[in-house]
Each structure stands twice: as C-alpha cells, then as structure tokens.
Amino acid sequence: MIGAVSGLLLRSVVVLTGTALLTFVLLWNAPGDPALSIAQARYATVVSGDVLEQVRAEAGLDGGFWTAFRGWIEPLLVGDFGQSSVTGRDVWPDLLTAASYTVPLALMGLGIGMVIALPLAILATRRPGSWMDRLAVALASLGAAIPAYWLGLLLILLFAVTLAWLPAMGARTPAHAILPAMTLGFGVAAALTRIIRSGILEARGQSFLPALRRRGVTHRAIGRDHVAPHAAIPVITVFGLELAFLLEGLVMVEVIFARPGLGSFLVSAILARDFPKVQAAVLLTALIFVTINLAIDLIYRVIDPRIGARDA
Amino acid sequence: MTINITDLSAIRSGRTILHPTSLTLAPGERVGLVGASGSGKSTLGHALVDALRAQGRMVAHVPQSPDEALDPLRSMGFHWREAERALGASPDPAERDAIFAALRIDGGDLRKRPWNWSRGMQQRFVIAMALIGKPLLIVLDEPTSALDPVVAANTMELLDTYLSNRRTACLLITHDLGLAARRVERLMVMDGGRIVEDTPTVRLLDAPRTQAARALCAHRNWLALPC
Amino acid sequence: MLTLQNASVMRGRMLTLDDVSLSLAAGRTLAVVGESGAGKSTLIAAVLGLVKLHRGRIAWNDAPVATIRPALVMQEPRAAFNPALNLRRSVMEPLTARRLTPDPVRLARFCDGLELPRDLLDRRPDQVSIGQAQRVGILRALIAAPPLVLFDEPLSALDAVTQKHTARLIAQLQAEEGFAALIVTHDLGYAAAYADDIAVLRAGRLQEVQPAHAFIAAPQTEYGHTLRDAAFALGALEHVA
C-alpha cells in the first residue's frame, strides 16, 4: 500500500511539472508580443518603445525562455508565486480570493448534481425500461446536450428577468450563487445520472447475486451491501474524468454570471499575458485535479484491493 | 421431515425447459440428479430450492463455482454474518467452528476477501454457509467442476462425513454419473426437461432403462480396472 | 519427435517451469497432468515459443518447434473463435495464412470423422453447441496437417458423455493422421484412457513420467498416488470385480 501511494504521488508530481512546463511553453510561443500586451493592460494606452523595453525587462522577458522559466519556477519551489506583471501585486492573495469564490460554487454545483442524480438513477433502475427509466435517460441526455452558457442564459431569463426572484450578476450575496450553482449542477446531474444508472445496472448483473437471493438475503440488503459498492467503482472512475469538464464549466459559468473567481482570474490574465497569474491559476487547477484523482485512486484501493494488487 | 414437492416447472422465452415435475426426498437421503448439459438439471435445482424457500423451509443451494456465490468486495466474515441474518439464525460461533472444522477451513482468515482464499477453501466455505441452521436439504450444483480433482475429492469426502447421521438431505446435481454413483444411494436421470428415471444407484448402473441413462452408464468412467 | 531438455521458465522471480525434460515421439500421446498452477499452461506456452526459456531447450527433431507450426486446441471452445466470422473462415485460417488452398476431400473426411454436419461450418460460433464448437476447434487444428498438436484441457468445458465421445474422435483422427499429441489436463481419467505416457507436474517440477497403465497401477511418487486416488474417488476411474 505504501509503495502504491508513493507511486501515485510520484505520478502526481510528474503531472504537475509537465503542466507547468507545458503552459509556460504555450504562453511563451503564443502569437504577438507579450510585453506589448502587458504594457497595454498596465497603462491602457499606446506605449512608446522605451516603455515597452522597460516592461520587457521588468517582466523578465528579455533573457530568453529558460531564464524566464527559471525566474518563475525557482521562487515557486519555495512557495512564492511571484507578482503580477501588470499590477505588480502578489499573485497569491489574489489567487486565494478568486478561489474563495470558485470552490464553494463548485461544491454547490456538485452537491446539486448529486442530490438530483442519485435519487433519479436509483428510481430509474428500480425497473429498467419503465417510463421512469426512460424519463431519467432523456433528462440525462438533454442535460448533457445543453451547453452551460445557454442553460445559464435561460435561467437568467426565467428567474432573474421574468420572475425577478433571484439576482443574476455578481457575487455580493449568497443568493447570487444560486443561479450559477444551478447551471453547474444540472450539467453535473446529467453526467452523474448516466454513470450511476449504468453502474447500478452493471452491478446488478454480477454473477453472485442470484446465489445471495437464494440464500435469503433481502432485496434491500443486496442493494446496500453488494450492488452499491460494485456500482461505485465505475461511478468513481468516470467521476474523475468528468472533473475536467466541471472545471471547464466553471470558467464558463463565472463569465456568464460576471462572478469573480478562478475563471475570470484566468481569462483576464491570459488576455494581459500576465505570466505569473496564468501560471498560478493553471497550477492550482492542476493541483486540485491531481489531488482529486489521487483521492479516487486511493478510494478504489479501499473498495477493491485487487486494483492495487494487480498493478504490483 | 420428508420433502415432498409437486409440479415444479420452468419456461424461458416460450420454451419449456422444465416440464411439470414432482419429487420426494427422505430426511438425510442423498440423491443424485444426473443428465447431459442442457437437460434441465440446474433449472430443477433452482426451482426446487425456490419453491421450498417459498414454503418457509430451510434449504440451501451451492452453485457450481465460488465466483457465483461470493462477492469479491466483501470479506468472508461479512458473508457468514449475512447468511446467518438472512436465515434469522442468531450468531452461533460454536456451530460455525464445528462446521469449519469438519470442512477443514478453520485456518481461514475471515477478515480476508474471497480471492485471498484458495478456490478449494472458497468452495468449502460456500458449502459451510449452506449448512448454517441445519437445513432440511442442501442442493449442490456441480460442486466439483470448478475444483482440482484432489481438492474436489477431499471436499466431497468431508461433506459426506459431515452429513452422515444428520437429517439434512442432499441433492447432488452433476453431468458425471461416475461421480454421483460413488456418493449417492438414489439417482434421478434428466433428459429434455424431464426426470426420465428415478431408481436406486445400483439398479440404474445394472440396468438403465432409458436412452439417456444408458448413455450416462456407458460413459460413466474413463477406465474400469480389475480389482 | 518433441524434446524438452531441462526447460525452465521464469515469471517474475518464480520458476513456473523448473527443469522439465520430456520427449514425445511422432504419432504418440503424452498427457501432462497436475493441479491448477502446476505449470501446465506455461508448458504449452513454452512449447509454442510464446514465453522465453530461462534455461534448457525445446526442439522438434533438433529444429525449433515453430518451424513445424504446431496446432493448439483450446479449453473454451466458443472463446477460441472470432464470434463475428462463420466457422468455415476460422477453420481455414491456418491454410489461408500460408496461402494454401483447402483440400475439399480432406475437409469432408474431417467433418465426417468429427461427426460435424456439412452445413455446420457456415454457422457462427454461438449457433452451435459447445461440444460441436470444440470439434470444430479440433478440425481447425488438424486442417493444415501439423505433426504436433497441443491440447489445453480440451474436454473440461464438456459434459461427461460428450467428453468421452470427443476423446474417441480425437484418438481415431490421430490414428489416421499420425500427429503427436501433447495433452494438458487435470483429468487423470482421460490421460489414463488415451495417453501412451503420463507426466505429473507439480509447482513447475516434473514429479514422474511413466507409461499410462504403469502409472495407474503403481504411481512412483506420493503425489502421483494422491492424484490417482482422487480420480478413483471422483469416479473418473473405477475398479470392477
């Protein structure tokens, strides 16, 4: 087990390093002059050649790729995210502020998704092929087909404009989070319903179930003690994969609802070519992703130790 | 108490795989149910167990392979407690230890999951679960075909010893007349979803009346050697 | 003649085949018996050249075994065929792979010998019984006239009566075709009835090799005794007065 965990940790480190390097390369090689973008974001006006060179030197862009990369990664290794090229402010506190908006929203989205998906999937699988089942599948397909930006606008139109029940833009009060969380939650619910439903149906086909029934184990106990753990394995797997889409959806939702958060943090940083901020946001996202996948791998091994044993 | 059941039958997707069948088993009697694959033996076994269970009688079924009886994600101890609960039996460590000792699985670690046990031990554990609460009848469906011969022979021997002078009847389902003939005193031959012959073992081996029984008898072992 | 000299196969740090020496002459039958994990499958893989030998050598008349293209009959009859193809195409594969043309007379003779209806080969694997599928597997193994055929638990998926029937058909074809048969099985009864020699394998090591009748009469090792007694206890072998 310790060997497996250290293997997984090593994998996480490789992923994080790769992500850092790759984003830096992409950003460095993006078309246009980064110094110009930074200067324009900083002064919001046409800048002279001298100012441009000064900005270039300040942002550490004058020494070539490796100098710039080292200038960024070395402080990072001791926990220093550096300063914004545009404002000169420390990146870390700004990043924390952004995350403090995004993380609760993501959790709410996940919560809403789970609250809808789990009962829906369980009801649907009670009798496969029944109208309830077909309704659940239809809802799940619909949810997967509707893009977040469209659903977001639809919800704004209904609840903020027509009914005027909820605020649409910004993040001043907790009520402001309801519509974005619903937008996110429906998308999550659609994906989860499909996975949980097929997970349960697959688990019901396990060859040892008839023997349990014949042994007199109740339907309820079989569902709880045998079907659920078997169904959980594919659900957890796919959930790890779906996470990427959840993060993507978050960026979209924050932009639509004009909310501060990691999404808008990242978008504005990319537009300004603010290397330290982009890198910080990407790295934080990657870290979250890697951590959750690590957790999933460990949960796997607890539910079914054969998964770890096979790798060894 | 004698088991007496009438009119078992089974139809799958419009095809009759078990014609109406009645059978009687005396307490402690050991009966073999033999026939070619597809003759309806397993179906009869399932129907019998389900019908008796519906009457509220204690019966147990041991499937062919331990994979069909044990959840790989659950510990052996969990399976045992679950079986006790399902039978409404209060946990009885003394009975458990006695069964385990008889089937020689007392060394097995109950905290482990099935795949940490050898297949032979798994199968004996499943048989042990079937013996909880002194059932009226235990149905063994091809109990040896998933096991190595040495393990299979040991398992049958241990079960025989445990069941001797107990009131639990035993129905041994197998395609292998050679195996059944050594273990049971009465044989039922199945063919095309019907019991076509039901007679003491000695008489069946001596004078099979039906085509199906003659085929089984003619091919009951690989070699017959002089003593 | 197939010869194994001190053949050893290493898997991880374990020897799954440990210093095994055996020989099998053309037209003869050698049965290798033992429990699961004894190294029977490794032996087959080693003869087919699918695993590397750690030590020793395996040869057919001093040439690599692969040069004579040995055939293999597998345990699970249906799994041995591509489910999407009709059986005829699967059966012809050993020929088409070498751009040989099938001999219709030979094919017809095999179909008769294996008691397969002529039109059966036009069906897909799931449209025939398991017993039929296994006989088609034997047909495929024999179609290109290999001098060596390996049988990996060829009967264990069949019921008792079908087992004996199939074993008899294999023996008849062997008498006509003259191939050497290496049969790996856990069923000592089958080995005793149809093999010339029986080799006992346990934990990768060869315990003993004897002519079949001599082994059944008097196993030389304690484990050999255990195996034989189990075969009697399960009714695979029987003493009659």
The answer to whether residues A70 and A33 touch, using CB atoms and an 8 Å cutoff, is no
CA B224, CA B51: separation in Å to the nearest integer?
40
A vs B: CB pairs below 8 A: 56
Neighboring chains of A (3 or more beta-carbon pairs < 8 A): B
Residues 6+ apart with CB under 8 A from A294: A8, A9, A12
pLDDT, mean over chain A: 82
CA C21, CA C10: separation in Å to the nearest integer?
16
Q: Contacts of residue B222 in chain C, CB cutoff 8 Å?
A: 164, 187, 189-190, 192-193, 236-237
Q: At what angle do helices A178-204 and A91-126 cross, to 10 degrees?
A: 50
Q: What are phi and psi of B141, to 5 degrees?
A: -100, 105
Q: At what angle do helices C160-177 and B211-218 cross, to 10 degrees?
A: 60
- Element containing residue A193 per DSSP (H, E): helix A178-204
CATH H-level, domain A104-271: superfamily: MetI-like (1.10.3720.10)
B212 → chain C, closest CA residue? C161
Q: What are phi and psi of A301, to 5 degrees?
A: -65, -25
Q: Where are the domains of chain B?
A: 3-218
CA B101, CA A133: separation in Å to the nearest integer?
49
Q: Do B82 and A304 touch (CB under 8 A)?
A: no
Q: Contacts of residue C226 in chain B, CB cutoff 8 Å?
A: 150
Instruction: Please list the residues that pair with B10 across neighbouring strands.
Output: B18
Q: Do B67 and A229 touch (CB under 8 A)?
A: no
| Strand pairing category for B59-62 and B137-141 | parallel
Considering only CA atoms, which of C2, C45, C42, C11 is closest in space to residue C147? C2
Q: Three-state secondary structure along A112-165?
A: HHHHHHHHHHHHHHHCCCCHHHHHHHHHHHHHHHCCHHHHHHHHHHHHHHHCCC
Is the confidence at residue A69, as pLDDT, over 50?
yes
| Domain range B3-218, CATH architecture | 3-Layer(aba) Sandwich (3.40)
The answer to whether residues C4 and C22 touch, using CB atoms and an 8 Å cutoff, is yes
Considering only CA atoms, which of B122, B199, B126, B133 is closest in space to residue B168? B133
Q: Do A216 and B63 touch (CB under 8 A)?
A: no
CA B29, CA B183: separation in Å to the nearest integer?
11
Residues 6+ apart with CB under 8 A from B211: B191
Q: What is the DSSP letter of B89?
A: P
CA angle B2, C234, B162 (to 5 degrees): 45
Q: Do B67 and A207 touch (CB under 8 A)?
A: yes
Q: C91: alpha, beta or left, given left = phi > 0 and alpha = psi -120 to 50? A: alpha
Tens-digit pLDDT profile for residues C75-91: 888 888 999 889 998 99
Residue at A21: amino acid letter? L
What pLDDT does A57 receive? Answer: 75
As a whole number, mean pLDDT of residues A228-243 equals: 82
Q: What is the DSSP letter of B197?
A: E
CA C219, CA A50: separation in Å to the nearest integer?
99
What pLDDT does A146 receive? Answer: 84
Q: What is the largest CA-CA distance in chain B?
A: 52
Using alpha carbons, list the distances in angstroms from residue B49 to A207, B5, B158. Answer: 18, 10, 23
- Say which range, A82-86, B106-110, B121-125, C19-23, has the weakest mean pLDDT: A82-86
Is the confidence at residue A312, as pLDDT, over 60?
no
CA C153, CA C166: separation in Å to the nearest integer?
12
* pLDDT confidence band for B93 (50 / 70 / 90): confident
Would an 8 Å CB–CB cutoff place B11 in contact with chain A?
no
Task: Give residues 120 to 139 of B whose Cβ lies within 8 Å of C.
Answer: none
Residue bearing the bigger pLDDT, A39 or B78: B78
The answer to whether residues C155 and C76 touch, using CB atoms and an 8 Å cutoff, is no
What pLDDT does A91 receive? Answer: 82
Tens-digit pLDDT profile for residues A12-60: 888 888 888 888 888 777 777 777 777 777 776 777 777 777 777 777 7
CA C170, CA C181: separation in Å to the nearest integer?
10
As a whole number, mean pLDDT of residues A294-305 equals: 83
CA C215, CA C207: separation in Å to the nearest integer?
12
The answer to whether residues B66 and B123 touch, using CB atoms and an 8 Å cutoff, is yes
Tokens 């699985």 belong to residue: B105
* pLDDT confidence band for A104 (50 / 70 / 90): confident
| Domain range C2-70+148-233, CATH architecture | 3-Layer(aba) Sandwich (3.40)
Q: What is the largest CA-CA distance in chain C?
A: 56
* pLDDT confidence band for B15 (50 / 70 / 90): confident
Using beta carbons and an 8 Å cutoff, which residues of C are at the interface with B? 35-36, 129-130, 158-165, 186-190, 192-193, 216, 226-227, 229-231, 233-241
Tens place of pLDDT for every residue, chain C, 241 residues?
Answer: 999 999 999 988 888 999 999 999 999 999 999 988 889 989 999 999 999 999 999 999 989 999 999 999 998 888 889 998 899 989 988 888 888 888 888 889 899 889 899 889 999 999 998 899 999 999 999 998 999 999 999 998 899 999 999 999 999 999 999 999 999 999 999 999 999 999 999 999 999 999 999 999 999 999 999 999 999 999 899 887 6
pLDDT, mean over chain B: 90
A206, A209, A214, A236: best mutation site toward chain B, by most B Cβ within 10 Å? Answer: A214
Q: Do A211 and B87 touch (CB under 8 A)?
A: no
Take residue A36 and report the two structure tokens written for it: 């110009």
Q: Contacts of residue C239 in chain B, CB cutoff 8 Å?
A: 224-227
Would an 8 Å CB–CB cutoff place B44 in contact with chain A?
no
A300 → chain B, closest CA residue? B73
In a 3-state reduction of DSSP, which class is residue C173?
helix
Using alpha carbons, list the distances in angstroms from residue A26 to A23, A91, B215. Answer: 5, 20, 76
Q: What is the DSSP letter of A224?
A: I
Residues 6+ apart with CB under 8 A from B122: B66, B70, B114
Neighbours of C12 (CB within 10 A): 6
Residues 6+ apart with CB under 8 A from A189: A112, A113, A114, A116, A117, A120, A140, A143
Q: Where are the domains of chain A?
A: 1-86+272-312, 104-271
Q: Do C238 and B220 touch (CB under 8 A)?
A: yes
In a 3-state reduction of DSSP, which class is residue C182?
strand
pTM of the model: 0.81
Q: Contacts of residue B123 in chain A, CB cutoff 8 Å?
A: none
Is the confidence at residue A268, as pLDDT, over 90?
no
Q: Do B72 and A218 touch (CB under 8 A)?
A: no
Return contacts of B145-148, CB within 8 angstroms, 24+ apart. Answer: B145/B64, B145/B65, B145/B174, B146/B64, B146/B65, B146/B66, B146/B67, B146/B119, B147/B119, B147/B120, B147/B123, B148/B120, B148/C35, B148/C36, B148/C186
As a whole number, mean pLDDT of residues A216-238 equals: 89
CA C139, CA C200: separation in Å to the nearest integer?
28
Nearest-CB residue to A208 (from B69, B78, B83):
B69
Q: Do B148 and C164 touch (CB under 8 A)?
A: no
CA C160, CA B175: separation in Å to the nearest integer?
6
Burial state string for A110-123 with b = 16 or more CB within 10 A and e = fewer than 16: bebbeebbeebbbe
Would an 8 Å CB–CB cutoff place B92 in contact with chain C?
no
CA B75, CA C28: separation in Å to the nearest integer?
48
What ipTM is given for this predicted complex? 0.86
Is the confidence at residue A246, as pLDDT, over 80?
no
CA C102, CA A129: separation in Å to the nearest integer?
49
Q: Contacts of residue A215 in chain B, CB cutoff 8 Å?
A: 60-61, 82-83, 86-87, 129
Task: Give residues 151 to 180 of B whose Cβ lies within 8 Å of A.
Answer: none
Residue bearing the bigger pLDDT, A120 or A86: A120
As a whole number, mean pLDDT of residues A138-142 equals: 87
- Element containing residue C20 per DSSP (H, E): strand C14-24
Q: Do C159 and B224 touch (CB under 8 A)?
A: no
Considering only CA atoms, which of B20, B18, B58, B37 is closest in space to residue B139? B58
As a whole number, mean pLDDT of residues A251-274 equals: 83
What pLDDT does B202 receive? Answer: 92
